[in-house]
Amino acid sequence: MASTSSVAFITGGASGMGLALVERLVAEGWNVTVFDFNNAAGEQVQKRLGGQVLFLRGNVINYDDQAQAFVKTWEKWGRLDLVWGNAGIGDRIEFCSPMPEGPNGAPPKPDTLVVDICLYGVIWTGYLALHFFRKNPSKAGKLVFTSSLAGVYPAAPVPLYGAAKHGVIGLVRSMAKRLQEMGEPITVNCVCPGLVATPLVSQKLVEVMPKDMTTPTETVVRAILQFAADASITGQAAECSGTEIHYRPVLPYSNSAAEYMVEGKYANLVDKDEMMQDSAEKGKLLDAMVSDRNGTVAT
């Protein structure tokens, strides 16, 4: 039997912003799945908050881990109302700095874990959320991702993080528009926080930062609760800076050619099935590019 209480699924929910929302939702009577890599922190959250919390340890960059967690959430509560793809890290290398040359004459492969977690992990979360929202009798759901100010503005110190977070905003706006076109009652939005004092942020930096230049977790929670409460809000990137929330608008089209292409106004000029078949055939030429993380190529 489905839960009579609303159900949320939150990645990175054992600490920081994720934990702040978990605590708020539990206080309001929700059931919440906390999906996190930190086993000790997750178990502590579940013990402290009781039966309304299901902690599932997993790795967001592992699709199967996420899929299993969504399945277990559905098996336990039989519904899903809100999903927040929130887990993230920052750059672990100085991407633009000179790198030592290896024996093969090239620098070593860069560490791109930040992209795996902050973009690919979010893609897996969103993909799975759509499937389980559609299992609800209402077919509805609220999907939220974590982007960043680095997804809105250039972030020179963290270019890979910035690339991933820009990608999140693009994913949100494109998914929201497509779901509207399909007539589905699923909303997709993201929060774009400034510096929030979470365990992933240097404590030394937090101590020296002017307090009015940081963003309280409550600002982020407030933005997500707005998304959860209003089904008319979709495709929005909510900049959470200090105590303020600003919805960042989509850029206007530069000209009619740009609008024509992005809006797909050419679609009636060709047979859709033929175009899809053509794309599939061309795609087969790329099968040999399937590669593992070590860079070996299948032939």
- The rounded radius of gyration (Å) of the Cα atoms in the chain is 21
Using CA atoms, how far apart are residues 94 and 82, in angstroms rounded to an integer?
35
165 catalytic, yes or no? yes
Residue type, 50: G
CB 178 within 8 A of CB 130: no
CB 220 within 8 A of CB 191: yes
DSSP 291: B
DSSP assignment of 83-128 equals EEE------SS-TTS-----TTSSPPPP--HHHIIIIIHHHHHHHH
The one catalytic residue in 165, 204, 211, 247 is 165
DSSP 297: B
DSSP assignment of 12-25 equals TTTSHHHHHHHHHH
- Locate all alpha helices (DSSP H) within the chain, ordered by sequence: 16-27, 39-49, 63-77, 113-115, 121-133, 159-181, 203-208, 217-229, 256-262, 272-284
127 catalytic, yes or no? no
Query: How do strand 7-11 and strand 82-85 relate by DSSP bridges?
Result: parallel
What pairs with residue 190 in β-bridges?
145, 237
What is the CA 54 to chain-centroid distance, rounded?
Answer: 20
The one catalytic residue in 63, 142, 153, 161 is 161
Q: Which residues are catalytic?
A: 161, 165
